[in-house]
């Protein structure tokens, strides 16, 4: 729902971007950089992270769009629903589970992040560049 009086109450994000192209352009450029530039994560994995974060913060619009995009990049259909329901029991790759736990905690309770949270990502075989990439995706979908 938009609270901008110049736009209809049921405005879509695209309509907001069209109404404010000067600020939408840089945001879309940043989105492209975070989601498609070289990263330790594939585009599909970044879409999975984006959809997971959006599901965690209850942004139905972004969750829906990025779930479909993740599936287009090869993430199995239904995986995100399973992951959000019970990450531990889900068929998400074991290397990605600590990453998803990290971004979920960063979304829900950022002040409670600890070195142990980062260490779990590192112990799964990811490096600092991967953690940085995951945080960028998380931040983008919590803005």
Helix or strand run (H / E) with residue 60: helix 60-72
In a domain, 81, yes or no: yes
Confidence category of residue 94, pLDDT binned at 50, 70, 90: very high
Q: Has residue 2 got a pLDDT over 80?
A: no
Confidence category of residue 68, pLDDT binned at 50, 70, 90: very high
CATH number at residue 63: 1.20.1290.10
In a domain, 32, yes or no: no
In a domain, 136, yes or no: yes
Distances (CA, A) of 35 to 32, 85, 127: 5, 24, 18
In a domain, 27, yes or no: no
Overall domain count for the chain: 1
In a domain, 14, yes or no: no
pLDDT at 1: 64
For residue 74, the enclosing domain spans 41-140
In a domain, 77, yes or no: yes
């Amino acid at each position: 729902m938009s609270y901008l009086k110049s736009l209809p109450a049921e405005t879509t994000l695209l309509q907001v971007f069209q109404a404010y192209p000067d600020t939408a352009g840089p945001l879309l450029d940043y989105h492209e950089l975070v989601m498609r530039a070289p990263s330790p994560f594939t585009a599909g994995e970044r879409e999975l992270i984006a959809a997971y974060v959006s599901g965690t913060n209850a942004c139905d619009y972004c969750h829906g769009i990025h779930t479909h995009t993740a599936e287009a990049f090869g993430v199995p259909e239904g995986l995100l629903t399973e992951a959000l329901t019970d990450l531990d029991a889900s068929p998400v790759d074991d290397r990605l589970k600590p990453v998803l736990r990290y971004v979920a905690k960063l979304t829900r309770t950022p002040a409670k992040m600890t070195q142990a949270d980062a260490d779990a990502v590192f112990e799964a075989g990811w490096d600092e560049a991967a953690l940085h990439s995951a945080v960028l995706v998380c931040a983008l979908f919590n803005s």
